[in-house]
Amino acid sequence: MLVKWALLGLSLGLLRVEAGRGRGSPSTTTPAPPPLPGPVDLTLALDRNASSPEQPFTVTKNASAWGEFGWTSTQTSCSSGQAGTHMQAPYHLNEHGWKVDEVPLERLLVAAVLLDVSAEVAANGSFLLTADHLIAWEKKHGGLPDNSVLLINFGTSAHGGARGASRNPSVTTTATPRTTPLNPGLSQGAAVHLTTLGRVVGVGVDLPALDAVGTPRGRGEPAARALMAENVYALLNLDLSRELPAKGFSLLVLPPKVRGAAVAPVRVVATTRSPSPSRAAAAAVLPSTKMAIGTVLCLYLVQRQS
């Protein structure tokens, strides 16, 4: 009985702490971001518009018909692993890195943050993200969460998306024609800064490559190489056109479990539900979740008392 009451006290204490935080503690640097209205899909549909440097996505067989027992539909498709929204596993540029099927699950259910440089890219299509931009973001929003994916919005989604873009994205649409090629990217210095911090397990962009490939600084993909040397993966051609908060959300990163693959298509979903109970989750569990756990525990104990 004594033990039960002690547990009840603990759970009530948890509720009090969370309620106190809800009223706004002075220690937080920025106010809590508003929750997402629901899950947000950051994936482009995989269809023949999803081009790639090698083999674009192609449906080679589409057998759909009414038969003796009713409707049956099956397809066979052929595609490069780099078509559309895709993951580059660390093995892509690191012989000893994880392949797609080897990336640990706790690195696929992660906290996420968003750095928006679309205004910088609009002003300069060759914008290069440096370590200073990352440091400025951290000053404003607090440190990058542990076990997280850093999303960088270069603003290409607003120009019709990275859909159809080649590795050198000269993104043009009828709505906003561009005269200069859009070829921004991540600098090697920014990548090294991230690996030094050691908290980011993946970097996601609305570009077909992390580096500004096609420019001298992107030659040999130094930024992607620096990240993959530390087993950090890349998510490319993401659809970042939907508004996301700078922090306080999670990602589900789900590539098919293709054995031995360096690159593969990937489904990426943003949500304000907390990530897996990994090392990140202990720090990142949302207040509402803690509240629910506390409440359930209380109810259970009260029931046992009676």
Q: Which is nearer to ligand NAG, 186 or 244 (CB)?
A: 186
CB of 206 to ligand NAG, least distance (A): 17
User: Applying CB under 6 A, which residues contact ligand NAG?
Assistant: 47-49, 59, 62, 64, 75, 124, 126-128
User: Which residues share a beta bridge with 67?
Assistant: 70
CB of 98 to ligand NAG, least distance (A): 30
CB of 83 to ligand NAG, least distance (A): 13
Residues 206, 155 contacting (CB under 8 angstroms)? yes
Q: Which is nearer to ligand NAG, 128 or 151 (CB)?
A: 128
Measured in degrees and rounded to the nearest 5, phi and psi for residue 265 equal -60, 160
Chain-centroid distance of CA 46 in Å reads 18
Q: Which is nearer to ligand NAG, 55 or 62 (CB)?
A: 62
Tokens of 218: 């992107």
Q: What is the largest CA-CA distance in the chain?
A: 76
Q: How far is CA 212 from CA 12, 208, 295, in A?
A: 52, 9, 50
Class of residue 154 by CB neighbours under 10 A (exposed 0-12, middle 13-18, buried 19+): buried
CB of 187 to ligand NAG, least distance (A): 8
Q: Which is nearer to ligand NAG, 48 or 140 (CB)?
A: 48
CB of 44 to ligand NAG, least distance (A): 10
Q: Which is nearer to ligand NAG, 48 or 242 (CB)?
A: 48
